[in-house]
């Protein structure tokens, strides 16, 4: 086993321990993909489907993103490292459990793990999918989808969260083209 993989296993064990202490019963969803990897995709948080599957980006929004990603980049999802800023499902306790925006405390709990994950994966390009992912890395910066930023010497581009795009049905075709363009630009930077 290479050193990076063993570092990732230790990181995931730390995430699991933090979850057990702060959110008993919550099931963390770890990142997946090659380590190291030149392209890292960071989403907001797992939802119901991701938590059930134990994999990031497999729910409705994530599947939409991956479909656009694969078409625009010419890469398979397995060629990128995919993770979330928050590692547990931020669930709203109602009759039918719903996903809510992660609380600040949840975001704060996982930010050091995310920074360590980035160090281990060592990407040259990061796609921050949605505001939660973007602000975890660049708090205080202005969120501008499709604009390049720098994060610790790496290229970082924010894109809109796929669930947001799917809710904007009147603009979906235009928004999808913008997302495809951003993904193509990200792949060109690798």
| Domain count of the fold of the chain | 1
Q: Is residue 100 predicted with pLDDT exceeding 70?
A: no
Total Cβ atoms within 10 A of residue 115: 14
**pLDDT tens readout for residues 65-97:** 999 999 999 999 999 999 999 998 766 566 676
| Integer Cα distance of 30 and 12 in angstroms | 7
Q: How many CA atoms lie within 13 A of 164 on its CB side?
A: 13
For the residues 14-21, what does the mean pLDDT come to? 92
In terms of Cβ atoms closer than 10 Å to its own Cβ (0-12, 13-18, 19+), residue 138 is: middle
Q: What is the pLDDT of residue 99?
A: 66
| Integer Cα distance of 183 and 73 in angstroms | 6
Q: Which domain holds residue 105?
A: 3-189
Q: Is residue 45 predicted with pLDDT exceeding 80?
A: yes
Q: pTM for the whole thing? A: 0.93
**158, β-bridge pairs:** 128, 145
CATH number at residue 27: 3.40.470.10
């Amino acid at each position: 086993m290479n050193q990076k993989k063993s570092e990732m296993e230790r990181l995931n064990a730390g995430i699991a321990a933090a979850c057990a202490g702060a959110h008993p019963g919550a099931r963390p969803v770890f990142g997946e993909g090659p380590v190291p990897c030149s392209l890292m995709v960071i989403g907001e948080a797992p939802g119901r489907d991701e938590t059930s599957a134990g994999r990031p980006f497999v729910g409705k929004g994530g599947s939409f993103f991956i479909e656009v990603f694969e078409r625009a980049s010419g890469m398979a999802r397995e060629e990128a490292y995919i993770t979330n800023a928050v590692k547990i499902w931020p669930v709203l306790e109602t009759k039918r459990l719903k996903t809510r925006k992660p609380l600040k405390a949840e975001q704060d709990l996982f930010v050091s793990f995310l920074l360590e994950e980035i160090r281990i994966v060592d990407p040259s390009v990061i796609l921050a999918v949605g505001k939660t992912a973007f602000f975890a890395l660049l708090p205080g910066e202005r969120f501008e989808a499709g604009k390049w930023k720098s994060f610790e010497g790496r290229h970082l581009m924010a894109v809109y969260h796929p669930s947001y795009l799917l809710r904007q049905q009147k603009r979906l075709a235009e928004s999808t083209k913008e997302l495809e363009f951003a993904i193509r630009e990200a792949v060109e930077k690798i």
